[in-house]
Amino acid sequence: MKNQLTIFFLFVSFFTFAQTEGNWKKSALTFTPEILFGKTMEANGGFPETKLQKQAVFSIGRYHTNNLQQWAQRLKRPKTGLSIGITDFGNLDSLGLALTAMPFIEFKAFGSNRWKILTGMGASYFTKKFNAETNPQNQAVTTDITWAFRMYLYYQFLSTKNIDWKMGLGYSHHSNGHTRLLNQGYNSFLVSLSADIKNPLKRDENDQTIIPEYKKTVYDYFAIRGGLGQNVLALAFNDKKNVYTIAGEYGRVYNNTYKVGIGFYYRFYQNYYDYIEGNESLVQDGREFEYFKSDPWSYSTNFGVSLHGEIFLNHLGIDLQLGYNFHKPAYKLEWRINEGWDNTPREIPEYWTLGELDGSYKKKHRISSRLGLKYYLIGMEQAPKNNFYIGAHLNANLGQADFTELSLGYVHSFNFRNKVSR
């Protein structure tokens, strides 16, 4: 699934460029070299000592000033593109390098042309990872490929005819989405210096494109999806197994750009089921979860309600979901195993200190989140009545990775109506 995610993000990056309507040759291209310096936060106790973190990033982007699609104008003509970067976390022997490919979008901030917010989501390849014998102190990642995320605030402090100079401050994160443990992840805070090289290909930008006056629109939709995810249960059960999802939602789309909705989700965790059916330690007779064996299927499921938000970039969707779990009983078992003493063995003695069901557990047990990207078969700019999409998402328990997922979905739209024009 890691390779499929990498292909998906590169696919998304290509179509970020390819979907523009209007005169492509007169769209404002930029080449942006960027250097970043900062701190790699400790991922675990005994984490290797690190020096200054250093990054070099090169981005190719395009401003959507002359993009006739409604989303580009509603979002105040943002910049989208692809970044390729290399990161030295400050300890090459233990942490190695990360090579990152990441689609991004950059918005104006605070109603000013000088302030910008950039966010991106993609994938990274690591040259060093955790190894119990050769690299035991680095518990940040245990897979070659991980998710990558960044969010930065930039200030354009100098502008010339050919270059816009910017300073930035932000946060970067790398995590494998709970597809293998250990997975503490890399969290970094950095400062940035970058140069937007404007129109590097010297194209003629004397464009007379007339941007239409879009009417405000709203319509209802319902959607269903099926997902196939993967995660692991614990260090002693570190083989990836599937998470199956069925979900639906109902809501509204505004101006072919913003979507809000409410929904439900049902999930089945193969790891939970196999643990119960295998009569592992904590479900054995006389242990805390022996009652799980009365109905392994039910105790391996999870269902809840969700609130959805999405921004459409025609074929692309930036998707966020917050959920509330009504039923996820086996998460208590997972917490007991993973949050007590380190390196909990498969056969857990009665005297072993297990994870305490504290306030942190209660919040993570109830609150779920989901962040990712979708690609729609038909561009949402056309407000199609029927549409299909493929998505890649990271699912979490209140910010703590739960599973990585690929999904297929169907959307039906109805009750189309216009409101007053701008």
Residue type, 169: L
pLDDT at 24: 45
Calculate helix-pair angle for 330-338, 359-366, nearest 10 degrees: 140
Cis peptide before 182 (omega within 30 of 0): yes
pLDDT at 52: 97
Strand 79-88 and strand 28-40: the pairing is unpaired
Helices (DSSP H) in 184-286: which residue ranges?
A: 270-277
Helix, strand, coil percentages (3-state) for the chain, rounded to 5, are 15, 50, 35
Helix (H) or strand (E) holding 88: strand 79-88
Q: How many CB atoms sit inside 10 A of residue 229's CB?
A: 26
Predicted structure pTM score: 0.87
pLDDT at 25: 46
Measured CA to CA, the distance from residue 23 to residue 68 in angstroms comes to 9
Structure tokens at 232: 């692991």
pLDDT at 27: 63
Is the CB of residue 247 less than 8 Å from the CB of residue 194?
Answer: no
Measured CA to CA, the distance from residue 303 to residue 324 in angstroms comes to 9
Structure tokens at 51: 């020096």
pLDDT at 420: 39
Measured CA to CA, the distance from residue 37 to residue 188 in angstroms comes to 10
Cα–Cα distance list, 116 to 37, 332, 353 (Å):
19, 42, 48
Is the CB of residue 137 less than 8 Å from the CB of residue 91?
Answer: no
Measured CA to CA, the distance from residue 119 to residue 13 in angstroms comes to 14
What residues contact 111, with CB distance under 8 A and at least 6 apart? none
pLDDT at 20: 53
Is the CB of residue 122 less than 8 Å from the CB of residue 99?
Answer: no
Residues of the chain with CATH 2.40.160.20: 2-198, 215-421
Task: State the architecture of 2-198 in CATH terms.
Answer: Beta Barrel (2.40)
Q: Looking at the DSSP assignment, which residues form a beta bridge with residue 268?
A: 244, 301
Is the CB of residue 100 less than 8 Å from the CB of residue 127?
Answer: no
Per-residue tens of pLDDT for the chain, all 422 residues: 555 555 555 555 555 544 555 544 456 789 999 999 999 999 888 899 999 999 999 999 988 888 888 898 899 889 999 999 999 999 999 999 999 999 999 999 998 889 999 999 999 999 999 988 899 898 898 999 999 999 999 999 999 989 999 999 999 999 998 888 888 889 999 999 999 998 777 666 665 667 778 888 999 999 999 999 999 999 999 999 999 999 999 999 999 999 999 999 999 999 999 999 999 999 999 999 999 999 999 999 999 999 999 999 999 999 999 999 999 999 999 999 999 888 899 999 999 999 999 999 999 999 999 999 999 999 999 899 999 999 999 999 987 889 999 999 999 999 877 653 34
Measured CA to CA, the distance from residue 345 to residue 86 in angstroms comes to 37
Measured CA to CA, the distance from residue 307 to residue 293 in angstroms comes to 33
Structure tokens at 139: 């518990």
Sign of CA pseudo-dihedral 408, 412, 418, 419 = negative
Is the CB of residue 373 less than 8 Å from the CB of residue 319?
Answer: yes
Cα–Cα distance list, 397 to 62, 86, 327 (Å):
35, 29, 13
Residue type, 248: G
Is the CB of residue 394 less than 8 Å from the CB of residue 210?
Answer: no
DSSP 119-173: EEEEEEEES---BTTTBTT--S--SSEEEEEEEEEEEEEEE-SSEEEEEEEEEEE
Tell me the fold of 215-421. Porin (2.40.160)
Is the CB of residue 123 less than 8 Å from the CB of residue 103?
Answer: no
Burial string for 6-42 (b: 16+ CB within 10 Å, else e) reads bebbeebbeebbebbebbeebbbbbbbebebebebbe
What residues contact 90, with CB distance under 8 A and at least 6 apart? 40, 50, 51, 52, 53, 54
Backbone angles phi, psi at 336, to 5 degrees: -55, -40
Residue type, 393: H
pLDDT at 207: 59
